[in-house]
Amino acid sequence: MSRWSLPFDVAVLGGLALFAVLLVPVLVVQYRRFGRLSARRVLAVSAVCVYAVALVAYTTLPLPPTTENCGPRGGTRVQLVPFTFVHDIARQTAGLGVVATLTSAVTLQVVFNVALFVPFGLLVRRFAGRRLGTTVLLGLLTSLVVEVSQGTALWGLYACSYRVADVDDLIANTTGALVGALLAPRFLAWLPMPAQLVPRRLEPRRVTVVRRWTGMVVDAAVFAVSSAVVAFVGRVLAELLELPDASLLGGLAPAVPTLLAGVATFVVPVLTRRGASLGQRLVWLRPRWGSPPSLVRRLLLAAVGTGWALSFALGAVVDGESPWQLVALVLSVPAVLAVLSVPFTRGSRGLSLVLARADLVDSRSPAVPTLTRTSG
């Protein structure tokens, strides 16, 4: 049972974990590619993640305990005679009835190899929107990669192959992809295809809570990645220039990457023509001002994110038991309130736009005016 239960557990848990990691990028891609969020395609992405992990798990697990796994059979295990499974079924089920033959291990193995690639055909044909021939070809190539991986002991990771690279598996898998591709138009008719969504990409849409939160999460990710990149570049430059750690800015040095990333992520965007952060732009959002915005109102729009960045910067340079840690905590509170306030503010504005006295609208709307630069 472990041969079947272990890959199943890995597929479900690993697939859901992969989906959780990819959720925000998936939402952003949907907004940019289709101009809207399709809940059905998001659900399909979760199926893709589970299936992708299942495909790897069922074709590789369980792994041998050590890389030195050569047994009496030696190295490469390859079966290159097509339709050998027909002879194997006839030989191993000789004298059995119809039901016993159909439920025998040798028959079920072939059925499983076909069934394993039926979801591949379904998803590639409908989710990815590929033609029948392309779907079958991709199924063939994917199965070929699987069989070569098995025949080369996971590309040399193990000393000897622990599974057989079988041409019959290649035939069965490709047949499964064909079956899935033929069934896709009927079984996945509920799933919109890319070609059905792309033509309406530039239509303005309502500002939703999920859309607003997605932009916020993207901005948070941009801030985190920028901080890490600036810190890494700083360390590299310090090594190249042979600078001691305390030669620049002393104890404030750990806060510099966070401050620079905070300015780039939250302050610079509000001073641009559009006034929208990168996260907002990716989900087709931008602020709309009732009157030409002053510099103060622009900076108020960035105040929440800037306070969040300052809290991280302060936390990086003060001692863990210092009272300044409380200040850092207080600086992060508006960011939490900004997230929580989105469902309860007009047009899903959130705290930052309330402070700046601005609305949040779809950037594709023709009613969105161009921001005017002012000095006051």
Q: What is the mean pLDDT of the chain?
A: 90
Percent of the chain topping pLDDT 90: 78
Residue 284 in 3-state DSSP? coil
What mean pLDDT is predicted for residues 2-6? 72
pTM for this structure? 0.86
- Whole-number Å distance between alpha carbons of 364 and 375: 27
pLDDT tens, position by position, 299-339: 999 999 999 999 999 988 887 777 888 999 999 999 999 99
Q: Where are the domains of the chain?
A: 1-62, 74-196, 209-362
Q: Which two tokens stand for residue 310?
A: 């300052």
In this predicted model, what pLDDT tens digit does every residue of 260-280 receive, in sequence order? 999 999 999 999 988 999 999
**What are 83-117's pLDDT values in tens digits?**
999 999 999 999 899 999 999 999 999 999 999 99
Helix axes 84-92, 105-122, angle to 10 degrees: 140
**264, burial (CB in 10 Å: exposed 0-12, middle 13-18, buried 19+):** middle
Question: 115-147: per-residue pLDDT in tens?
Answer: 999 999 999 999 999 999 999 999 999 999 999
3-state helix, strand, coil in the chain (%, to 5): 70, 5, 30
Q: Which of 51-60, 64-73, 115-124, 261-270 has the lowest mean pLDDT?
A: 64-73
pLDDT digits (tens, 9 = 90+) for 212-223: 999 999 999 999
